Structure 1
Amino acid sequence: MTGVNFAERSAALSHGSDGAALPRGVQGAADENFLCAVRAFGQMFPWRRLGGGALSVYLDGEPVVDVWTGFSDRKGTQHWSADTGPMVFSATKGVAATVIHRLADRGLIDYDAPVAEYWRAFAANGKSRITVRDALRHRAGLSQLNGVRKADLLDHLRMEDRLAAAPVSWLHGKPAYHAFTFGWLLSGLARSVTGKGMRELIRTEVAAPLNTDGLHLGRPPLRAPTRPAQIIGPQSALPNPIFNMVAPHLAALPFSAAFGAMYFPGVKAMVQGDTPLLDSEIPAANGVATARALARMYGALANGGRIDGTQFLSAETTAALVGQPSLRPDHSMVMPLSFHLGYHGLPIPGVLPGFGHVGLGGSLGWADPETGLGFGYVHNRLLTPLVATDQAGFVATAALIRRGAGLARRNGYRPVREYGAAFTDLTRTAV
């Protein structure tokens, strides 16, 4: 493939006429048709203390944007690199769901079979009718954490056992976002089928066939090329005794919605300092990913399951991932999320077609099969004063990406160079 880096202006503009280059401070490669989107991306990180991020775009399974900028640490001293991967929070869910689809593609899992058909212990307490499709659509009725403590949450096998023993809920069959429990549902299912945990499966079923190092569940090993970014905020250690007293009682209420699905004692401390949240397997929340890795995965899903001449997922399975938009409110998030087989849409016509998964703070991976467009955007800001911009503002940049794809169709384009490390076998002992 031909491509460019920040210093190679002529190659960057494969069909350029205006002599434009990548914005100051932005490194990587971009086809000229996408330069408006790249400029908008670069403007999101104007100062050292506002962190950094990366953007990657694939069109018809080929890379057309691979750029990054800013800083990966809170002090603004470590530049973001081609192999920097922040924790992407709920964008991890899309990767975990893709593992299940890879297994289903080989006939190991049937979407309409009960979860208990594979995971025998899961049948306890009235859950024998909950299907794999229910779990992927956040309709298993197991969204609440129900008094989970930090020690429980950091023990993924204990969390799988808790879910297997939990009673069926009145929410079974109704959309209710499983903010944390979604990941352990899928990992318990996958472990029962393969004998392997989700950390290993994300590497073998997604990272390896996509030939990227940039997908890890939890903290990457020291020998991995991917380096985790520090979370910029929140870092305040000031306690709130009233909140700490009331919160556990609110979370325990049967109608506590998102609060009951996300709160546990010490939740803020889990993303502070050295980020203890990374030291476990939480397939709904603690994935570490580069934008490139997410974009390669969603680029394949937007291209009939195919990338680099390899059929990552069959065309039939890939086609089934596109769901019907729904305006039905989610019982946890109190807004429509239009979940279908592990990914969600934005059921507002024309805003962001396709499907993918957004994470807390705004990192996301997305596929638009109608246009053959897949992209990933990651950063290390979580709950800063810019949270509203980070969480929703990327919709504008996504519109510019779609505009770039339209220009590329009219003007022609060339694939750009992909940066970052290819897949490396980092097999390690894990349970």
Structure 2
Amino acid sequence: MPRIHGRCDERFSAVRAAFEENFRERGELGAAVTVLIAGEPVVDLWGGWADSARTRPWERETLVNVWSTTKGPTALCAHVLADRGLLDLDAPVAVYWPEFAAAGKEAVLVRHLLSHRAGLAGLREPHTLAELYDWDLTTARLAATEPWWEPGTRSGYHALTYGFLVGEVVRRITGLLPGEFLRREVTGPLGIDFTIGLPEKEADRVAELVVPRTDARTRAGFFARMPPLGVASLLNPPTGAAAANTPQWRAAEIPAANGHGTARAVAALYGILAGRGARDGRRILSGAAAERVREGQGVCRDLVLGEGLGHDTEIALGPWLSGPEGSYGPNPRAFGHDGAGGSCGLADPEADLALGYVMNRMGPGISDDPRKKALVEAVYGAL
């Protein structure tokens, strides 16, 4: 059992206990969790190891790739533009990105991109990792491809394409890739330790992602049963810890999957939404714009993840709603986003609560990792 560092209000001692249990009983290697209530930290814990060899302790400022937990901050970029009147969520994407109208996509709306309803969950042609790192090539291929289903009718998880689709709209409006826009407009002014991609100067702080052999076998079995749409979304190109630990991945702009940050940073970003658009006295979104983020776009069995999850879900304009399954706690209108292998960002405006959980031992699932669930249950049990 590694030593746990940080602080935890006595009221939330059950969260510390759950965090310790993750190491003792759920195979945790290195991790951190932060809980904010009304913007103030009531839990800020970290511990374990930042590498598989257990030579580098997980420190207070250790960074890690959080996979799809990145999608929340990427969606936030679009909502900032919408709040400023620069982006209409009900406008066709082609208004901002004319080439996107090809192959029957002229009626696809910006809200369809944000809610995984654009029908572009993955590319139809093989796409390599090297090509994924090429922003212009990837967005050009997405603009030229035809949808897998009628846009707007169903959700289908856009695992990798999400960030390029939303991000290219951000770029067409601002001239900035979403990582730079996020830095200038949100993380820089607020001092939030989160980047899309990883600056080379921060390489010494980043944790190594690790997949145990048993989890690798479970993941391989899950992917082997994937239908063509699932393969296109999750495996074209194949990604994973080995890829994400490379300098090439870290140097790229992959706004759906390569955000790097601390648990405090994730909690702060989702805390903007929990605080109805404001943090530390600074307003990032109007109250109405922050509320719009969790505007549900329809309950359905997700075309990519649905059978794997085993239940219907509802995606809002960026995050997933907690819903009756309680993925983000008992408030069905709480929301958040998980990252492959376990990480999570959560916002509950009714409780003015935000949570960030990051780790480096990747579990076999796409969402609702048992470690995350244990922490979320402990937080709500303390309220």
Q: How does 1:86-125 map to 2 (within 5 A)?
A: 86-125=64-103
Cα offset for 1:267? 3.4
Q: How does 1:146-225 map to 2 (within 5 A)?
A: 146=124, 147-173=126-152, 174-212=154-192, 214-222=193-201, 224=202
What residue ranges of structure 1 are gaps of 5+ in the alignment? 1-22, 407-431
- Aligned-pair identity (%): 36
2:260 is aligned with what amino acid?
V
Give the corresponding residue for 1:414: none
Q: Is the 8 A contact 1:325 1:345 kept in 2?
A: no
Q: How does 1:305-316 map to 2 (within 5 A)?
A: 305-316=277-288
* 1:144 aligned counterpart, secondary structure: coil
Q: Distance in 1 between matches of 2:86 and 2:72?
A: 19
Matched, 1:284 2:256: yes
Max Rg structure: 1
1:323 is aligned with what amino acid?
E
Q: Distance in 2 between matches of 1:309 and 1:265?
A: 42
Q: Is the 8 A contact 1:57 1:375 kept in 2?
A: yes
Cα offset for 1:125? 2.0
Give the corresponding residue for 1:16: none
2:342 is aligned with what amino acid?
G
1:184 is aligned with what amino acid?
F
Shift in alpha-carbon separation, 1:370–1:203, aligned structure 2, 3 A:
same
What residue ranges of structure 2 are gaps of 5+ in the alignment? none
More helix by share: 2
Please say which of residues 357-366 and 296-305 is displaced more in the overlay: 296-305
1:286 is aligned with what amino acid?
N
Q: Is the 8 A contact 2:294 2:321 kept in 1?
A: no
1:96 is aligned with what amino acid?
T
Matched, 1:70 2:70: no
Q: Is the 8 A contact 2:120 2:147 kept in 1?
A: yes
Shift in alpha-carbon separation, 1:324–1:132, aligned structure 2, 3 A:
closer
Q: Is the 8 A contact 1:142 1:181 kept in 2?
A: yes
1:342 is aligned with what amino acid?
G
Q: Is the 8 A contact 1:145 1:263 kept in 2?
A: no
Cα offset for 1:113? 0.8
Q: Distance in 2 between matches of 1:188 and 1:324?
A: 23
Shift in alpha-carbon separation, 1:327–1:204, aligned structure 2, 3 A:
same
What whole-Å deviation, never above 9, does each CA across 1:252-297 have from its counterpart, x for those lacking one?
A: xxx5232221113553574375475323111111111211011111
What whole-Å deviation, never above 9, does each CA across 1:134-166 have from its counterpart, x for those lacking one?
A: 100101011123221222112122111111122
2:289 is aligned with what amino acid?
T
Q: Is the 8 A contact 1:235 1:273 kept in 2?
A: no
Cα offset for 1:341? 0.4
Q: Distance in 1 between matches of 2:2 and 2:235?
A: 40
* 1:27 aligned counterpart, secondary structure: strand
Matched, 1:129 2:107: yes
Cα offset for 1:196? 0.6
Q: Distance in 2 between matches of 1:269 and 1:400?
A: 29
What whole-Å deviation, never above 9, does each CA across 1:68-124 have from its counterpart, x for those lacking one?
A: 111111111111111112111111111100111111111111110111111122112
TM-score, normalised via structure 1 length: 0.78
What whole-Å deviation, never above 9, does each CA across 1:3-32 have from its counterpart, x for those lacking one?
A: xxxxxxxxxxxxxxxxxxxx9711112221
Paired residue total: 368
Q: Distance in 2 between matches of 1:232 and 1:275?
A: 16
Matched, 1:337 2:313: yes
Shift in alpha-carbon separation, 1:365–1:324, aligned structure 2, 3 A:
same
